[in-house]
Structure 1
Amino acid sequence: MEFAVIAQTLEVLEKTSSKVQQAATLAILFRKTPPEVIDKVVYFIQGILWPEWKGMPELGLGEKGVQKAIALATSTSELEVEKLYKTMGDYGKVVERLKQGKTAKPAGLLSFMKSPKIATQQKLTIEEVYNTLVKIAMAQGEGSRDAKIKLLTGLLMEADPREAKYIVRFVEGRLRLGVGDATIMDALASAFKTTRDVVERAYNIHPDLGYVAKLLAERGADALKELKPQPGIPIRPMLAERANDPREILEKAGTPALAEFKYDGERAQIHKKDDNVWIFSRRLENITERYPDVVEMVKRYVKAREAIIE
């Protein structure tokens, strides 16, 4: 799927304040997205490569690395890139402006980074964008910073100005869309003719919107209804809401009501399957390594072969 289609949609979303209209715009995109890549499209809109609970690496490219990649990709000095950033406050807009003003083909030392597709004007695809971003994240150890910059530079050279803007914003972790998971769920329900409740239940049980979207696109709403909790995959927890006045709480909860003190500490969702134990935080972070004593106690005292404990 051409990444230009996604970038165009992102630009529309950025200019749309209505959540209803954002969901409608996303639904149009999801309908035209091939099922085999819809997970990658959803991840990009979320601004992630994968759910945090999977414990996979982050992109790991800081502001200076992004600045250098933009400079290399547009044959511009880093000083000029930094100067533009101070004026515009957005590296995405900086790379868009620079690429709009650079119509000549890159030459010299940069030519080794150039893809053959640039010369043939082939379009960038979401698969290529996503897979390159994964390579950036997976580059670890000595020399990884240079490898990350080289990969991002090559990607930006292939991208048109609008595509480059959103790629850079993704790397920075600031897409500036104002689109949350709730809007994406509304859009998926609309695109594939099911209810928001069906999509949200699936997401609560399997908190990976890319996976949920792909399952829905490939197998339909019935497949989502069949999803069940699995040890090793965290469940989205119910979170308390704050209120300023006890009377407000009673109005919402109804009476009679039961209240209890809130104790400090870590809320943990503990999963066990055979000899494997996972511990997830209230934000679904994998915190297993922080609590080896809890892992040992679960292995020793929880007799069930499979269990999920909160």
Structure 2
Amino acid sequence: MTIQAAHTFLNLSKVAQSINETRGSNDKVKICADYFSSLEDETDLMLAAQFLGEGAFSNISGKRASVGSRTYSILAAELCEIDYDKVFKPSKTALGSSSETIEKLFTNIPEARAKWFPQDLTLKEVEAIFESLQAVSSRADKQEILTNAWTKMSPLEVKYFLRIMGRGSLRIGFESKSIVSSIVKAFKKSIEDVRYVHMITGSLGKTAALARNDQLEDAQFKLFQPIAFMLASPIESRTIENYTDYLAEEKFDGMRCQIHVKGNEVRIFSRDLNEITHSFPEIITFFADRSLPGIVLDGEICVYKNDTIMPFQHLQKRMGLKKPSKKILEQHPTILISYDVLFYDGKPVFEHTLLDRRALLTELSKEYVFPVTSQYPISHEDEIEMLFDQAIAHGNEGLMLKHKQSTYEYGQRRKSWLKVKKPGGSIDTVMMYAHAGSGKRGGTYSDFTLGISVRNDDRYEEEFIPIGKAYGGYTDEELKKLNSRIKEITAEKYGPTLGLYPDIVVELEFDDIQVNKRTKANFTLRFPRFKAIRWDLSPDDVDTLIDIERLYENKLNQERLKQINNPSFVFK
């Protein structure tokens, strides 16, 4: 890589692909750190960190390209001169990825190749394309911008352009914490200093620039600028020496958020740092009426009706609405329940212990009257089961265990916060597609699309339709056996994806079932994972879409205890 070529989008795409094809996390970090070091221009460095770790726009910008998958997929089919329904959609189903599908088609179809004239676009030129996309609203305008951009890119660039535009993971086994590690390595800084600056700035690009310029100490927390959330680890993944060091708290069936308030100015941010203020006007009014001083709270948004926290499925009807209707507000009213305070009286308090932050939160909730969770001391491990059952009876997801002396450890999964949950259920599914793994799983098929039966369902012509993707829950030996069997039941091959004859049955465990009208089943599973490979069952034994619909309705209609009698919910 020459310094001159370092700032091109093609080079960033090659770096991302190289990271994807590299196994060890340290080796991945080195590739990224070397790349960051090669970027001479500060803006290029900021854009590179942003593109690799956040997306087309910084998390704190409030901007979105807002280009739907169907919009760019239809365009890709037109450029390839293929039928969208008969060729593109089956290819996408097989590969499990729109961006991967488009890269393969653009590479292999002569009609598409004839339209490409790669021009080594710079990072700044690609930034300008993203800016132009977010400035227009019609599908035609967005497709015109995409056409002009894609014809100047290679298929590899198009793939990463789409993944960056979508703001999701680049799916290269390299998340934001790895970008932080790369900044540390590239500019020889302390990991704690870089993590702290990333938290209070909310921007990987700004963090990289401050690290390079030896200005980390200049970073300051700003109200109404979201900070990275503290994360929890599954209790199964950690060993606890002394349970009395922890406090228990019921885990509500809602959406994690962060609320910034000062007087009548109120802004709410989701876990991915998106602003969601306009989706919850009743919460805005509630906090604006309390004339709070500058404060930042960490908490949970829940649908709360008739003194009861309703199932998450009710909250889904509120998510993403920029201006909910009067009817929606009446049917699915929300509240924000706080469980931590991060900023108060003009200064951050996340370096204080949980006990100190909790004491402050309790004092503030009494003075300004807003809902908070309750916390329970733990004297023995056996109490966790009792508290867990109590949480489930209240309709909550489970428990959180929080270390009394912990500070707010932004963006890390350690032992300070532990989550205690049980699966929402399990179903028997058939393996439909096997996707090649990356990183340490390179060379094996380790990601799988699982399906349910619609053989006797008049709504469908197929035998099976997808219900979820899973890539964990099996042992190395089981994976080896799976790959051996997959070779024998392969029906078709689409690049890194195999279409399989119905044969392997997997009991799939999940946290919840959610409505998703963009899927054939109209449902998706929340956090699906392997529970068991059922070599004893055949495809005739897998669950049906009707079974999924019944499970969903049962969860939706599950009776819940009213929160007015729940000591875990303090709102007086």
Q: Which has the higher strand share?
A: 2
- What is the CA deviation profile of residues 201-220 of structure 1, one whole-angstrom value per residue up to 9, with x for unaligned ones? 11111222122223333x32
1:267 and 1:281 in contact (8 A); partners too? yes
Q: TM-score, normalised by structure 1?
A: 0.77
Q: Which of 38, 50, 55 is residue 43 of structure 1 equivalent to?
A: 50
Cα distance in 1 for partners of 2:178, 2:271 equals 22
Shift, 1:231, TM fit: 0.6
- CA 1:250–1:163: 2 relative to 1, 3 Å: closer
Range that drifts further, 42-51 or 14-23:
42-51
Please report how far the alpha carbon of residue 82 of structure 1 lies from its aligned counterpart in structure 2 after TM superposition: 4.3
Task: Name the residue aligned to 2:268.
Answer: 279
Which piece of structure 1 moves more, 15-24 or 207-216? 207-216
Task: Note closer, same or farther for the CA distance 1:122–1:303 as it changes in structure 2 (3 Å cut).
Answer: closer
Structure-2 residue corresponding to 1:134: 131
Question: Which residue is equivalent to 1:29?
Answer: 35
1:303 Cα shift?
A: 5.5
Aligned to 2:266, the other structure's residue is in SS state: strand
Instruction: Determine the C-alpha separation between the residues in 1 that align with 2:255 and 2:36.
Output: 38
Q: What is the distance in 2 between the residues matched to 1:152 and 1:233?
A: 31
Match of 2:221 in 1: 229
How much has 1:275 moved relative to structure 2? 4.6
Select the residue among 144, 151, 156 that pairs with 1:157.
151
Out of 232, 235, 259, the position equivalent to 1:243 is 235
For residue 269 of structure 1, the aligned residue among 248, 258, 262 is: 258
Q: Which runs of 5+ in 2 are unaligned?
A: 1-6, 298-340, 342-572
Match of 2:356 in 1: none
> What's the CA shift for 1:199?
0.9
Question: 3-state SS of the aligned residue for 1:9?
Answer: helix
Residues 200-252 of structure 1: per-residue CA shift (max 9 Å, x gap): 011111222122223333x32xx22232221111222323333159xx6641x
* Post-superposition CA distance 1:18-62 (Å, at most 9, x none): 111110000011111221122221222125223455443343322
Kindly indicate whether residue 185 of structure 2 is the aligned counterpart of residue 178 of structure 1: no
CA distance in 2, matches of 1:87, 1:267: 33
After superposition, the Cα gap between the structure-2 partners of 1:275 and 1:72, relative to the gap in structure 1 and judged at 3 Å, is: same
Q: Structure 1 unaligned segments of length 5 or more: list them.
A: 107-113
Q: What is the SS of the residue equivalent to 1:45?
A: helix
Q: Give the structure with higher Rg (CA).
A: 2
Deviation at 1:171, TM superposition (A): 4.3
**How many angstroms apart in 2 are the aligned matches of 1:98 and 1:281?**
35
The answer for the alignment partner of 1:111 in structure 2 is none
Which of the pair has the greater relative contact order for Cα pairs under 8 Å at 6+ separation? 1
Match of 1:166, SS? helix
Q: Secondary structure of the residue that 1:259 maps to in structure 2?
A: strand
Specify the code of the residue in structure 2 equivalent to 1:189.
V
| Alignment root-mean-square deviation, CA | 3.2
Aligned residue runs from structure 1 range 164-203, under 5 A: 164-171=158-165, 173=168, 175-203=170-198
* Aligned-partner residue type, residue 231 of structure 2: L
Question: Secondary structure in 2 aligned to 1:56?
Answer: coil
- SS of 2:260's partner is strand
Q: How many residue pairs end up in the alignment?
A: 286
> 1:47–1:175: 8 Å Cα contact kept in structure 2?
no
1:307 is matched by which residue type in structure 2? Answer: I
Shift of 1:7: 1.4
Q: Give me the whole-angstrom Cα distance separating, in 2, the residues matched to 1:184 and 1:20.
A: 12
Q: Indicate the SS of the match to 1:262.
A: strand
Moved more, 283-292 or 173-182: 283-292
Structure 2 residue 63 is matched with structure 1 residue 56: yes
Cα distance between partner residues in 2 of 1:98 and 1:10: 20
User: How far apart are residue 282 of structure 1 and its match?
Assistant: 4.8
* 1:259 CA displacement: 2.5
Tell me which of 8, 11, 27 is aligned to 1:2: 8
CA contact under 8 A between 2:268 and 2:275: conserved in structure 1?
A: yes
- Displacement of 1:150 in angstroms is 1.7
Query: Which deviations, in whole Å up to 9, do the C-alpha atoms of 1:52-104 show, x marking residues without a partner?
Result: 55443343322x32223223444555455445545555444444444445487
Distance 1:185 1:43 in 2: 11
Deviations 1:101-150 (A, max 9, x none): 548754xxxxxxx9xxx4xx64222222222123223322xxx1111122
Amino acid at match of 1:149: Q
**What is the DSSP-based 3-state SS (H/G/I as helix, E as strand, rest coil) of the residue aligned with 2:233?**
coil
Counterparts in 2 of 1:258 and 1:20: CA distance versus 1, 3 Å? closer
Give me the whole-angstrom Cα distance separating, in 1, the residues matched to 2:296 and 2:174: 31
1:171-221 deviations in Å (ceiling 9; x for gaps) = 45463211111111110111112121111011111222122223333x32x
In structure 2, distance between residues paired with 1:178 and 1:255: 34
Moved more, 90-99 or 12-21: 90-99
Distance in 2 between the 1:52 and 1:170 partners?
A: 12
Change (3 A) 1:55 1:171: closer
Letter paired with 1:271? H
Alpha carbons 1:95, 1:165 under 8 Å: kept: yes
The code of the aligned residue for 1:126 comes to L
Structure 1 segment 80-95 matched on structure 2, within 5 A: 80-82=87-89, 84-85=91-92, 88-95=95-102
